[in-house]
A and B are shown apart, each in its own frame.
Chain A
Amino acid sequence: MNYLADVAALARKDLLLELRAKETVPAMLLFVLATLTVFHFALPRGAGHVAALGLLWVALVFTALLGLTRAFVPEREQGLMDALVLAPCDRSAIWLGKVLAVLAFLGLAELVALPAFSAFFSAVDGRTVAAVALADVGICAVGTLTGAMAVAGRARELILPLLFLPLAIPIVVGGVGASAGAGGRYLGFLVLYDAVFGLLAWASFEYVVSET
């Protein structure tokens, strides 16, 4: 129970920071709307529903990327990471707290993005919503870990997409498959992805932040 309390405290810290600074979520919202508008012009006239669904996934992955780029910036700028690593809690709690916070931001962005998508392009069915929810878990799990790696380096914002996108390709395959094709198998695949990479990221986060 102590572990969960730590996670809750860490997630609360991030949410509170966001509530006061209002940096990440408005940026994500604007970005996803702008991307959808660009896609309207990028799609040739008469392009079908399926093509638009594919672009929805591109928009979601890039929006998530935007949030993830910012995720560890306060920690690094204020030197908070060292304090967190010194704190008497399990290091994976840092990861889990951050995942929950980023998940909340991404969820908020999608609460706007999905209705906007149905208004701009075509209606979103329940299976797409389920796929988006499942994909979010995987995106945040893997993205938070790679985000922690990226801020340790000099290139930071530059390097996160490079680290993250190859790992996100299976998510896009699963997501597009679930929303455009025959669903069940792909939703199962997304669950598998979340489980495998979630566990791996949870178990290995300690090594990413420790200095020995």
Chain B
Amino acid sequence: MKPISLPVLAGAATVLMAAAISLVFFYAPTDADQGLSQRIFYFHVPIALTAYVCFAWGAWKALLHLWKRPEGADLESYVAIHLGVIFGSLTLLTGSIWAKISWGVWWAWSDNQLVLFLVLFLFYCAYFMLRYSVDPGPARANMCAVYALFGVVLIPVSFLAIRLSRSFIHPVVFTSQGPQMTGTQFLTFCVSLAAMLTLFATFYQLELAGKRLDAHLRELRELLA
């Protein structure tokens, strides 16, 4: 599969993001209970889902690296996790703002999804520490891939652990009966999610292109030296 070219992705991300922002502010209905602050939902949830997608993509690339050993899977895994951590910080930030307005606190330990996200966030921050403490090479690639795989296993296990004991106050929007939203809300949400995912794809391609260029340049320099 040939990846979509970077300018096309960047253009799509810009258009979708503009559409999402205008839909969020001018189209989606104001929440009867929470008022304007509820609109952060259209950023917070898509960003969080995108962070999960990043981590899952990174783990998938890590698995590929250990399994079929294609060229560059290690770098792709790293870039996906790097973006995941960025989206993860944004999730914690937007979530904290929303929690402060809606629940009156910046942080609530009583909530499953918050704690789960924090555990994952810490885990993936440690991934960076590991990556930057080991010298580049096949050994580092293997190690990072194994650690990234531990992350995907950690998600359900910590979820179960946290679920065992707690009640939760997080609004549950997606239940087994489908999304609990009106049509206009759902449309806005979908556009916003698409925008975030395209943004991720754009950054992903951009960072990969940069890193590959960097590696190439280093090779050339070594040849000349």
Contacts and interface: CB of A to CB of B under 8 A. Distances in A.
Contact of B146 (A170, A197, A207): A207
Contacts of A174: 161, 164
A200 B143 contact: no
Interface string A78-116: 000000000000000000000000000000000000000
A208 interface: yes
Chain A interface size, under 10 / 10 to 19 / 20 to 34 / 35 or more: 35 or more
B85 to A, nearest CB: 13
Nearest to A177: B165
B119 A149 contact: no
Interface string B145-164: 11101100110011011101
Given A167-B150, A170-B158, A204-B149, A159 B133 contact: yes
Interface string A146-162: 10011011111011001
Contacts of B133: 150, 153-156, 158-159
Interface stretch (A4-12, A38-46, A119-127, A185-193): A185-193
B134 interface: yes
A37 interface: no
A196 B158 CA distance: 12
Interface string A192-212: 110011001000100110111
B58 to A, nearest CB: 16
Interface residues of B, number: 32
Contact of A165 (B122, B134, B150): B122
A210 B142 contact: yes
Interface in B123-182: 123, 125-126, 129-130, 133-135, 137-140, 142-143, 145-147, 149-150, 153-154, 157-158, 160-162, 164-165
A48 interface: no
Nearest to B158: A170
Given A155-B129, A167-B123, A200 B150 contact: yes
Given A142-B150, A153-B133, A166-B123, 9 more contacts: A152-B134, A159-B130, A163-B129, A166-B154, A170-B158, A170-B161, A196-B157, A200-B150, A212-B138
User: Ordered nearest first, which 4 A-B pairs have the shortest CB separation?
Assistant: A153-B133, A166-B123, A170-B161, A173-B161
Interface of A: 142, 145-146, 149-150, 152-156, 158-159, 162-163, 165-167, 169-170, 173-174, 177, 181, 185-186, 189, 192-193, 196-197, 200, 204, 207-208, 210-212
